[in-house]
Structure 1
Amino acid sequence: MADETPTKSRLTRRQLLIGGGVGVGLVVAWTVWPRRYGPNLTAAKGEHIFNAWLKIGEDGHIAVAVPQAEHGQGSWTTLPQIVADELGADWRTVAVEQAPLNPLYANPLAASELFEGVFDRLPQNMREGHITRSALMLTAGSTSVRQFEGDLRDAGAAARVLLQKAAAKRWNTDWQATGTAQGFVVHDKDKLRFGELAAEAVGGSLPDPLPLRAGENGRLSGQSLQRLDSPAKIDGSVNFAADMRLPGMVFAAIRQGPTADSRLVSADKAAADRVHGALKVVEGDHWVAAVADNWWAANRALGALAPRFAAPVGGASDYSIRGALDAALNGDGVRIGAAGDVGAAFRGVQVVSAEYRAAPALHAAIEPRTATAAWSDGTVELWMPTLAPGLARSAVAAAMGVGEAAVIIHPMPIGGGFGIGLESDAGVQAAAIARAVERPVQLTWSRAEDCVHDRFRAPAAARMTGRVDQNGRLVGLLAKIAAPSTGHELAARLLASDTAAQAALALPANGDAYAVAGGTPFYQIPNWALDHHPADIGIPTGYWRSGAHSYTCFFTECFIDELAHAANTEPLSFRVAMLGGNARLARCLTTVAALGGWEGGVAGSGQGIACHSFRGSHIAVFAEAHIEEDQSIGIDRIVAAVDCGRQINPDIVRQNVEGGLVFGIAQALGASTRFKDGLATVRGFGDLDLPVLADMPDITVELIASEADPGGVSELAVPPVAPAIANALQSATGFRIRSLPLKVGET
């Protein structure tokens, strides 16, 4: 990429931080790598590129380049809104486009959230420099606003100053005497449209530091502006990956062996050939695909193939997974964090102890995994839903034996996914099939294939121990959590071609912090410890919405409720008394209690409460629940109070919280699978016990105003829902369910 003189100070500081070396023979020289990167946006006729984040057309339109995937969380609105706010734009003229792969759009914050315990083994200067240099673009960990707000504000401010200078030159006045509003540069009664000034404004000089807009008048930040992605989704004009159509394109259906080391032993190709529309059978290392002129025919041909695979004997089962977790829990653990002296706090005194479990969870997105691929002159183009386009490019290049320059990724809007979009399996397979048939091909996994070969949210087990003193104060807490090392597994799989990451994985590790993320107490407890007990469970695991917080919050908040009962203390007061250093979370708790009509969680009330602090945001959830006559669980009401700091678009914050609450209900009631002979038994939505519209409770969300820096939102509401419901069921029935999903009769 071409080197260019930076146009704004923040981009200069953030463009690249390059470090020295790390063990295992990895040495990176300062002089080898470029220190600055230029934008590689493309401009349409009449458009002018102001910086890596925005273009302004002579017709007045403003195009904002967004490096984050849009999968319903609203990043294609909130991020352009930041630019438009700082620019002084008219929201009606703002458009969004997917940013190209470029180190300028790397997301170190998401890398640290997603690969916790991997990159942090490297020196900081090398870690951040490597993430930037490798263009590690990621949509993960609720990081979009947290990572890019500063860059986007600077981008808008830089363009605004250039437009003001161009207008001031025409008016022969000081540019600092001008301002912007609703897409105009204004000075007294004079005003000029941005589009009129765009051509002459580009390339001007900028002050250091850049002045940000002052005052509250006309600000777009903090307003619930219309989402930019909604109109196309409403009228059906948006193209998802499965909507791609290329000249001469064919369709493929796939069947995979139960494990990565499976091998195909038989397939009835003659039977597949007899299916009308069938064109070819393509075999991979552990999969076989049928190609036809339409997907229905491809799926019928796949059924006719009746493929059989050989796999290692003794695949994972419910019994083996439970046994592996039990063995890990009873074995040696690795201390991830601690304060005070837990051993001394427990010594010679009666303690409270309980064990909890969480089953594997599926992603079960509306859009099954899919990709469209086309080979031409040694280059492959892929249209696919991906949260990590750079990682997808690397995976395809490695699998196809070509350089990364020969792989072009077109990220598409995503129909949900909740983490599965980090995986590139469908893209790799589509590329291989396209090369074999020498035609563009669209591969779509069946719903059964999508369920059986998911990268599951890891199952986990916990042994929680605590001690409450004679004054009802929690003085000691020990959390021992058995779970697979999903963080290391993710890094090894997704960063397979990343030399620095693999070198970091080869260094001595102190457990897997990702596997127990969220287990560190946010309460003020004088003595506490968190141990990870790595478990080899025999199934692939991956990132699932909110990661390990989805089960660690369940373990902690249910156990805190048990400790409150042991202390004969009302659960809300018990929590608030330990939150002296977290006033924002305490306010969430008192707010949700007031809104919900909290009665103290007394026997028969059917009320429960839980809270969580997560990525700079805070949430408390109140639930009312009961047991139906058929022994199913009924949820009557959910109330949430949220403090996520400064809100760019309150409506989008609310949408994310509401969606997270529904997702949390799904986790509480279902979204799981059993295992037999190494395979998930679930084959579709009907097997997942997902809540339907008739099951939805009344949901109330209160957003607490705050001027703190924005925190993460898209995953915030998922973790505390299940423990709030479990605590409500305990108050309704007198017995406690300690396993996810919640099932009556299981403790």
Structure 2
Amino acid sequence: MTTLSRRSFFKQSAALGGGIAVAIHLGGCGSEPVYPGDRENALQPNAYLQVTPDGKVVFQLPRAEMGQGVYTGLTTLAAEELNMPAEQIVVEHAYYHPEFRDPEFQMMMTGGSVSLRNNFMPIRQAAANLRAWLRAAAAQQYKVSLDAVELSNGQVLVEGREPVGFGELIETANSLPVPEKAPLKSPADFSQIGRHSVRLDARDKVTGSARFGIDCTVPGTRTAVMRRCPHLGGRVKSFDASAAKAVKGVEAVFEVNGGVAVVASGYWPARKAADALDIQWDKGPLAGLDDNTLRQRHEKLLQSEGRQVAEVGDAEAVTGERMTARYRVPMLSHSPMEPPNALVQVSENRVEVWTGTQVPDTAIGVVAAALERPREQIIVHNQMLGGGFGRRLVPDYIVEGARISARTGHPIKLVWSREDDIQHDYYRPAAMAELSATVDNGKVTSFSGKTVVPSIMGQIMPMFAEAAMPEWLPPAIPRSLAGLLKHVDTSMTEGLGDTNYQFPYKKMETVHDDTPIPVGFWRSVGHSQNAFFTESFIDELAHRLGQDPVEFRLMHMPHDSRRYRALKLVAEKAGWGRPTPGQFQGVAAHDAFHSSVAQVVTASVEGTNIRVHKVVCAVDCGLAVNPDIVIAQMESAIVFGLTAALKAGITLEDGKVKQSNFHDYPMLSLAETPEIEVHIVPSTDAPTGVGEPGLPPVAPALANAVFAATGQRLRELPLRLG
């Protein structure tokens, strides 16, 4: 694979209003043309820092900001190396280009808690290169030695002169070669990385000036809503639009994507008309499916032969009494506060999309395929996301908007309702697991298990592949990935098959459930259920052996591991073993996304009511670039996880989702939210993930606390006392 040549790069950067730019190579193939083709001054052949003629530094943000903090975290990396306050840098959402593709996933994607981990060095290096370039330009322009030049507070300090603005050095800098491997700052000299600081996007979000996808509009925009089949996978058979067309403001009603679209002058007439439609539905492949049927299916699949995903140790060591436990988790909706939406304008040679998406390049690919257009015509203007949690990895709502715009000839703002969102999600899959262990003379001699779960990769990745593959490849190739991926999908057993608990023999298997329920990546993905399975069963083992749950865990994990450090710290900070009278503690520790998180939950039980009083969390995530964001992400994940543990659950009836809004799919309320205390394990290692690892331990820690309080093992989420 080739990357953009330096000569081509400078030709393109010359269109940046006379500014200078430094490339950040993030991997991927850079041989594609600069994009979009008719706006050269806005094109970005790589993720880069730009200096404008008036001296401003502009950072093209290559990841989506959905509340997790990349707007601040990634900008801080650049600001540190440039010796300037992060708030002085202008941050813009980057347009798609292959150079923005994450090297791990080869997609321009925000997910998997990789934004800081995979960008920590490239962005610092780019900023260090820019710093060196400006210093060299100042030294030449003012005839001084390089040692007499330094950057500080957004200016260039030249010995014996007044401070110089960056813009004054552009002409000279463009005559010099761009440094490629300038020295990075020593961590001992960091003034911003590792320090608490205010989020750069906080003020705009508080004042309402931050722009999200749902805020976007262009002249001539019409609003559209969809009526989709209430039975998952179903389609419209026929419909009567007479009542809908009688609603004032309605302009068009037609079938699209298996549902019925209503186009009107605004949201409320469109919604009113959509509700007035008389539709006959084909229930599709899931007709008749309900929660009991799905449970029975999973129980039956547990008895079938599974695919082995891990086997460690000597099977001959398996001796003693066997104990077994079965666990289950339900389907879950993402339910971000901003429901799915997209503004799409289709014209003869151009398709523009304004939305919040975690996968701009996938959005380009699927829109191009849906409209049978070249990818070069599709432009995605990414915006702030009002929550994502994995939902905005699937661009189905963008395709709907594109097809409606193409049909009507108008810019279309498609808006989902909360009911649309909850009843037509790509859900965290329902899953079941059976774990077992053998115990001989007070020691665990084996640890094994089997899960039944759908393959997220098998459903979603063919769409990603079709969007990313060259157009000349036959469609059968990406579709064939579904059959392959369901046999190698690591998300089915992540956090279970790769646990670092040490026993003489370990074996894990998985069985693929191919029920065609739409499933997707939900915050922490397979870890969300597998931590509940594993950490609940580990607690049962500790109790079976009469050992302290913390000490039992520490005894069976490597003492030099991150999880060991996090567990030791959380036990100390939570006062493990010394709860307030009437309250009870539970513990869990889990590795996910290269980070380790341990949590102690303190809870009490009154009758059948579970009350969570406090969650103490310790996280080992390497160097915390911004400790405030790390703490906020742990708090956010804990609240998200407690909602799943105590409240949430999507259930089916005749293939329909029974829940529809927050009255029957409730969130954890402020009054129910416990005190949360977060401790960061000191580290000089490179940063790892923080957006998702805080979620997996909270449900098992709470279940273990409930056992301590009642003696009752709750092996199914949401937790319910009988």
Q: Normalising by structure 1, what TM-score?
A: 0.88
Residues 48 and 199 in structure 1, CA contact (< 8 A), matched pair in contact too: no
Q: Secondary structure at the match of 1:544?
A: coil
Residues 23 and 48 in structure 2, CA contact (< 8 A), matched pair in contact too: no
1:547 alignment partner AA? V
Equivalent residue, structure 2, for 1:122: none
TM superposition shift of 1:333:
0.3
Q: Is 1:283 aligned with 2:255?
A: yes
TM superposition shift of 1:217:
4.2
Equivalent residue, structure 1, for 2:207: 235
Count of aligned residue pairs for this structure pair: 699
Equivalent residue, structure 1, for 2:664: 687
Equivalent residue, structure 2, for 1:714: 691
Per-residue Cα deviation, 1:383-424 (whole angstroms, up to 9, x for no partner): 111100110111111112222122221112111120010111
Equivalent residue, structure 1, for 2:464: 494
TM superposition shift of 1:503:
6.0
Equivalent residue, structure 2, for 1:410: 381
Equivalent residue, structure 2, for 1:700: 677
Equivalent residue, structure 2, for 1:566: 544
Residues 458 and 485 in structure 2, CA contact (< 8 A), matched pair in contact too: no
Equivalent residue, structure 2, for 1:576: 554
Equivalent residue, structure 2, for 1:652: 629
**1:458 counterpart (404, 410, 429):** 429
Q: Give distance in 2, aligned partners of 1:710 and 1:393.
A: 30
Q: Secondary structure at the match of 2:108?
A: coil
Residues 213 and 342 in structure 2, CA contact (< 8 A), matched pair in contact too: yes
TM superposition shift of 1:636:
0.9
TM superposition shift of 1:382:
1.2
The equivalences for 1:322-721 within 5 A come to 322-341=295-314, 343-347=315-319, 349-470=320-441, 472-499=442-469, 502=479, 510-519=487-496, 520-599=498-577, 606-629=584-607, 631-721=608-698
Q: Give distance in 1, aligned partners of 2:434 and 2:196.
A: 44
2:504 alignment partner AA? P
2:224 alignment partner AA? A
Bigger mean CA offset, 211-220 vs 54-63: 211-220
Structure 2 gaps of 5+ residues are 11-19, 470-476
Q: Calculate percent identity across the aligned residue pairs.
A: 33
Per-residue Cα deviation, 1:231-268 (whole angstroms, up to 9, x for no partner): 11111112211111211111111111245753323322
User: CA 1:84 to 1:378, structure 2 compared with 1: closer, same or farther past 3 Å?
Assistant: same
User: CA 1:574 to 1:388, structure 2 compared with 1: closer, same or farther past 3 Å?
Assistant: same
1:361 alignment partner AA? L
The equivalences for 1:226-305 within 5 A come to 226-258=198-230, 262-305=234-277
Q: Secondary structure at the match of 1:589?
A: helix
Per-residue Cα deviation, 1:617-650 (whole angstroms, up to 9, x for no partner): 1111000112234x22211111101111111111
Residues 616 and 710 in structure 1, CA contact (< 8 A), matched pair in contact too: no
**1:145 counterpart (112, 116, 136):** 116
User: CA 1:218 to 1:330, structure 2 compared with 1: closer, same or farther past 3 Å?
Assistant: closer
Equivalent residue, structure 1, for 2:473: none
Per-residue Cα deviation, 1:694-735 (whole angstroms, up to 9, x for no partner): 101111111121101111001011000000000000000011
1:369 alignment partner AA? P
Q: Give distance in 1, aligned partners of 2:39 and 2:271.
A: 42
Equivalent residue, structure 2, for 1:213: 185
Q: Give distance in 1, aligned partners of 2:177 and 2:45.
A: 12
Q: Secondary structure at the match of 2:697?
A: helix
**1:319 counterpart (288, 292, 309):** 292
2:183 alignment partner AA? P
TM superposition shift of 1:575:
0.6
User: CA 1:323 to 1:51, structure 2 compared with 1: closer, same or farther past 3 Å?
Assistant: closer
Per-residue Cα deviation, 1:296-342 (whole angstroms, up to 9, x for no partner): 0101101111322112373421022112211221101001112113x
Bigger mean CA offset, 153-162 vs 170-179: 170-179
Q: Give distance in 2, aligned partners of 1:516 and 1:427.
A: 31
Bigger mean CA offset, 511-520 vs 437-446: 511-520
Residues 450 and 510 in structure 2, CA contact (< 8 A), matched pair in contact too: yes
Q: Secondary structure at the match of 1:386?
A: coil
Equivalent residue, structure 2, for 1:740: 717
Q: Secondary structure at the match of 1:307?
A: strand
1:528 alignment partner AA? K
TM superposition shift of 1:294:
1.0
Q: Give distance in 1, aligned partners of 2:175 and 2:538.
A: 59
Residues 625 and 633 in structure 1, CA contact (< 8 A), matched pair in contact too: yes
Residues 325 and 537 in structure 1, CA contact (< 8 A), matched pair in contact too: no
Q: Give distance in 2, aligned partners of 1:40 and 1:337.
A: 46
Bigger mean CA offset, 501-510 vs 633-642: 501-510
Equivalent residue, structure 2, for 1:182: 153
Q: Secondary structure at the match of 1:693?
A: coil
The equivalences for 1:29-48 within 5 A come to none
* RMSD (Å) for aligned C-alpha atoms: 2.7
TM superposition shift of 1:36:
8.7
Per-residue Cα deviation, 1:496-515 (whole angstroms, up to 9, x for no partner): 34447556556587442211
Q: Is 1:155 aligned with 2:97?
A: no
Q: Give distance in 1, aligned partners of 2:35 and 2:368.
A: 24
Q: Secondary structure at the match of 1:281?
A: strand
TM superposition shift of 1:35:
5.7
TM superposition shift of 1:210:
2.0
Bigger mean CA offset, 599-608 vs 194-203: 599-608
Per-residue Cα deviation, 1:445-474 (whole angstroms, up to 9, x for no partner): 12111111111001111110112332x443
Q: Give distance in 2, aligned partners of 1:346 and 1:189.
A: 77
Residues 354 and 559 in structure 1, CA contact (< 8 A), matched pair in contact too: yes
Q: Is 1:75 aligned with 2:97?
A: no
Equivalent residue, structure 2, for 1:119: none
Q: Give distance in 2, aligned partners of 1:93 and 1:49.
A: 21
Per-residue Cα deviation, 1:264-291 (whole angstroms, up to 9, x for no partner): 2332211111111111102114100111
Q: Give distance in 2, aligned partners of 1:187 and 1:150.
A: 28
User: CA 1:642 to 1:708, structure 2 compared with 1: closer, same or farther past 3 Å?
Assistant: same
Structure 1 gaps of 5+ residues are 18-33, 112-130
Q: Give distance in 1, aligned partners of 2:282 and 2:207.
A: 47
1:255 alignment partner AA? R
Q: Secondary structure at the match of 1:672?
A: coil
Per-residue Cα deviation, 1:565-599 (whole angstroms, up to 9, x for no partner): 11111100001111234443222212211221211
Q: Give distance in 1, aligned partners of 2:358 and 2:175.
A: 33
Equivalent residue, structure 2, for 1:117: none
Q: Secondary structure at the match of 2:438?
A: strand
Equivalent residue, structure 2, for 1:24: none
Bigger mean CA offset, 515-524 vs 673-682: 515-524
2:268 alignment partner AA? W
User: CA 1:559 to 1:618, structure 2 compared with 1: closer, same or farther past 3 Å?
Assistant: same
Residues 613 and 619 in structure 1, CA contact (< 8 A), matched pair in contact too: yes
Q: Give distance in 2, aligned partners of 1:480 and 1:593.
A: 30
Equivalent residue, structure 2, for 1:197: 169
Residues 263 and 286 in structure 1, CA contact (< 8 A), matched pair in contact too: yes
Q: Give distance in 1, aligned partners of 2:440 and 2:154.
A: 63
Q: Secondary structure at the match of 1:363?
A: coil
